[in-house]
Structure 1
Amino acid sequence: MKRIQAKDAFLLGSLNEKIKHIYACGEDGCEAVAQRYADAIDCFASLYGEEREVFVFSAPGRTEVGGNHTDHQRGHVLAAAVNLDVIAVVSPNSDYKIRVKSQGYPEDQVDLTDLSVHEEEKNTSQALLRGIANRFVEMGYPVAGFDAYTTSQVLSGSGLSSSAAFEVLIGTAINTLFCGGKESAMKIAQVGQYAENVYFGKPSGLMDQAASSIGGFVAINFANQEHPQAQQVAFDLNSCGYALCIIDTHASHADLTPDYAAIPAEMREVAAYFGKEVLSEVPETQFYAHIPELRKAVGDRPILRTMHFYQDDRRAQEEALALRMKDFEKFKQLVRASGESSFMYLQNIYSAEHWNQQAVSVTLGLISHFAQSLADKDAMAWRVHGGGFAGTVQVFVPQNHAAAFVQAMNAWLGDGSCHLLRIRPVGGIQVAG
């Protein structure tokens, strides 16, 4: 549709029902969302022309709910999309170029006649655009040029995976514009992972992209690397009187790359002892039967991290089942157990090399202190969120205590540290056009 039609559809309320569904919000939340889209349409017009046919897309950030560092061992994960997203206003062009202007950043351009890996582009969004386009071309689709303006609520470094949301956003747009919408949400996620691994230069797993692309609570089994199995888990967090909080610990990721890389490396070292690539291929009973020899061969920390893998891989499946059975008390117990396992066995709460910088540990301790002040001391559940060592912490808190909790955490850690979120029921989606 034309720009002015798209803008009117948002501002006149034609898309309110769709907005309420996508963002899990009420009527009172529609106006701000609609205005954000209208503003993005205006920004697109000022950059690329007012008479263009436009399409509007959205892709959410994600939160890891269960399965801490299990995905790269082809295990099980429970994740969820959240109501913070990246949106794009997109229009095809005839230049055979991709142009993307993201709010606050210079415009990225990719010439579609050259889709090879550019080493100088590593760690840039331009690399992601080139990689995503290349993968769709390899799949046989006639990807042509387009112009896009994007704006994000998924702040970089928030632990909600802004890069995966961007990848899913672009993949969803290309799938709509040039593939007839034929590709599945999981395939779009895999395209994003390919671009991140090969073009961007980050050896990430698939969990972030899959959660963003599919939406809702998502139980994922990564056993089949080419065809992971993903299933939405129907559960309304709001209906049971709980809110999801993500807390920014304000810790720096600088100098932590060796700590992150060591976790999958040590798990694979244990797997290699048994002639396997990843731990999901090694029976748990076989692992425990060889503990004495393993300790001599690989040392103790890889052993502890392997213990965590088996336990948290099982917990991720049990958490999904608890939500399906509407057993939120069981779910909270499993979340707390996952957090304890990450601290004790996985050891991704702080870096041993930077032992005097323990922002995540302090944050977990403060949450525990707050929970002890409640009449029901087991009302809350919390754990490290994602990769660990720095970044964010995840908390499930009763709605009647949410305001006091946010106030307390912000007082301890700084204003804006604690974010109240909603679980978004849909992933990457065409909103209008």
Structure 2
Amino acid sequence: MTDATTRAASGTAARNAESAASFTALYGTEPEGIWAAPGRVNLIGEYTDFNDGFVMPLALPHTARAAVARRTDGVLRLHSTDMPGGVVQLRVDELAPHAGHGWAAYPAGVVWALREAGHRVTGADIQLTSTVPTGAGLSSSAALEVVTALALNALFGLGLTASELAVLGQRAENAFVGVPCGVMDQMASACCTEGHLLYLDTRDLGSRQVPFDLAAQGLTLLVVDTRVKHALGDGAYAERRAGCEEGARILGIPALRDLPYDGLDAALEKLAAAGADESVLRFVRHVVSDNQRVEQVIALLDAGDAPAVGPVLTAGHVSLRDDLRVSCPELDLAVSAANGAGALGARMTGGGFGGSAIVLVDVAAAAAVTESVLEAFASAGYAAPGVFTAVPSAGARRLAPAAW
């Protein structure tokens, strides 16, 4: 074991012990385990998942962690070390969609979804902490959902697969919280593996782990957190989903995934002739072209040509900015400043309206590109963004056993 590995293991053990001690101080009993689920960054394929399309996310090293113990009295107690206020106490048999609860709606929604699916969850004490930035488009909510589902699956012996847990997490966010998201975020958190991208077909959840060793080609992937908080529950996301569904309905196909790229022009003419709103045409054009971009990226990676992915990322940003219209000035500036300083390509990632951009860059140019982005933000009078390297990391897992 190397010194670095030893230090990492020692640090993890210390954090686990700290989490266990904090749980015990809060609830008066020891947790039965500690679990973690990561946030994600999506390389390509945006707003395609609720259209049965293709996506290619990777898990980040940033995680939501949950220390959990079962209860048998129907009480659910939730606490977050990152949120103000104390313990949120609920009854599992009284959980109902759209009842509020703030941040606690995400783990509570998972309990509701499990029980709605017929799984006997009789209560729990849960303490959560997270290093996934909130509102940054990096799936902090999916991480909370997946880590809760993973822990309860283990403690109650439910026998659910990682994909099944992801689908339940999505149901919690859709039906309980009220955000009509697709399944990519939860699948990425639950199913990604270290050193890989997850090439995912969101229709049947078929997937392939794609090696993603940028360093071997002298590259790195930066994440630029604009610190502009986005909120997907404000109607803009739902509006785009409804527009995509309207486009598929007019075209007579189950989902936009079923429209091939070489049929896009004819489909847009059909939509226009049918009197579809101009926004529907734009949404359809983005989704079909972004599915094509996913296919381009997987072909390039399979061929070992990661540098050629850069222009595909930039093309994806233009589509998100102009057709889907989910970018913002800070995201546009991050992309233009990075590309102007020599990046291979860049785009916004996630739901947009704020959040983060990703930048593909030669390792040798990473510092200069970062500095250019920081200077551009300062010149524009924006708050300084956070910049870090996206390291393809492990998906959801158990961190610690019952014995500390």
Query: What band does the TM-score fall into relative to the shorter chain?
Result: 0.7 to 0.9
Cα deviations by residue, 1:360-407 (Å, 9 ceiling, x for unpaired): 222222112222xxxxxxx52211111223221111223333334334
Per the alignment, residue 390 of structure 2 pairs with: 421
Task: Tell me the percent identity.
Answer: 27
Per the alignment, residue 178 of structure 1 pairs with: 156
Cα deviations by residue, 1:208-228 (Å, 9 ceiling, x for unpaired): 11101101311111224xxx2
* Equivalent residue for 2:198, pick from 218, 229, 236: 218
1:207 matched to 2:184:
yes
Letter in 2 for 1:111: R
Q: CA RMSD in A?
A: 2.7
* Equivalent residue for 2:26, pick from 17, 42, 47: 47
Letter in 2 for 1:422: V
- Residues 213 and 94 from structure 1, CA distance in 2 versus in 1: closer, same or farther, beyond 3 angstroms? same
1:400 matched to 2:371:
no
Q: Is the Cα contact below 8 Å between 2:36 and 2:399 reproduced in 1?
A: yes
Per the alignment, residue 367 of structure 1 pairs with: 338
- Please state how far the C-alpha of 1:232 moved relative to its aligned partner: 1.9
Secondary structure of residue in 1 paired with 2:19: helix
Secondary structure of residue in 2 paired with 1:390: coil
Q: TM-score, structure 1 length as denominator?
A: 0.81
Secondary structure of residue in 2 paired with 1:41: helix
Cα deviations by residue, 1:26-48 (Å, 9 ceiling, x for unpaired): 55545544433332222112112
Secondary structure of residue in 2 paired with 1:66: coil
Per the alignment, residue 90 of structure 2 pairs with: 110
- Please state how far the C-alpha of 1:248 moved relative to its aligned partner: 2.1
- Please state how far the C-alpha of 1:66 moved relative to its aligned partner: 0.9
Letter in 1 for 2:179: K
- Please state how far the C-alpha of 1:285 moved relative to its aligned partner: 5.2
Alignment of 1:293-304 (within 5 A): 293-296=270-273, 297-304=275-282
1:93 matched to 2:93:
no
- Residues 405 and 274 from structure 1, CA distance in 2 versus in 1: closer, same or farther, beyond 3 angstroms? closer
* Equivalent residue for 1:160, pick from 138, 156, 165: 138
Per the alignment, residue 147 of structure 1 pairs with: 125
Per the alignment, residue 248 of structure 2 pairs with: 271
Letter in 2 for 1:43: S
Q: Is the Cα contact below 8 Å between 2:335 and 2:347 reproduced in 1?
A: yes
Give the Cα separation in 2 of the matches to 1:255 and 1:323: 31
Per the alignment, residue 121 of structure 1 pairs with: 100
- Residues 329 and 405 from structure 1, CA distance in 2 versus in 1: closer, same or farther, beyond 3 angstroms? closer
Secondary structure of residue in 2 paired with 1:244: strand
Per the alignment, residue 76 of structure 1 pairs with: 54
Secondary structure of residue in 1 paired with 2:354: coil
Letter in 1 for 2:399: V
Letter in 1 for 2:141: S
Letter in 2 for 1:35: A
Cα deviations by residue, 1:225-265 (Å, 9 ceiling, x for unpaired): xxx22222222234333332211223354799354333223
Q: Is the Cα contact below 8 Å between 1:67 and 1:316 reproduced in 2?
A: yes
- Residues 298 and 412 from structure 1, CA distance in 2 versus in 1: closer, same or farther, beyond 3 angstroms? same
- Residues 399 and 38 from structure 1, CA distance in 2 versus in 1: closer, same or farther, beyond 3 angstroms? farther
- Residues 324 and 33 from structure 1, CA distance in 2 versus in 1: closer, same or farther, beyond 3 angstroms? farther
Q: Is the Cα contact below 8 Å between 1:76 and 1:221 reproduced in 2?
A: yes
1:391 matched to 2:362:
no
> Structure 2, unaligned stretches of length 5 or more?
378-382
Q: Is the Cα contact below 8 Å between 2:180 and 2:238 reproduced in 1?
A: no
Q: Is the Cα contact below 8 Å between 2:111 and 2:121 reproduced in 1?
A: yes
1:318 matched to 2:287:
no
Cα deviations by residue, 1:167-190 (Å, 9 ceiling, x for unpaired): 00000001111125x211111110
Which is worse superposed, 288-297 or 146-155? 288-297
Give the Cα separation in 2 of the matches to 1:140 and 1:299: 42
- Please state how far the C-alpha of 1:345 moved relative to its aligned partner: 3.3
Give the Cα separation in 1 of the matches to 2:94 and 2:238: 32
Secondary structure of residue in 2 paired with 1:56: strand
Q: Is the Cα contact below 8 Å between 1:339 and 1:382 reproduced in 2?
A: yes
- Residues 255 and 66 from structure 1, CA distance in 2 versus in 1: closer, same or farther, beyond 3 angstroms? closer
Secondary structure of residue in 2 paired with 1:360: helix
> Structure 1, unaligned stretches of length 5 or more?
1-15, 351-357, 372-378
Q: Is the Cα contact below 8 Å between 1:69 and 1:387 reproduced in 2?
A: yes
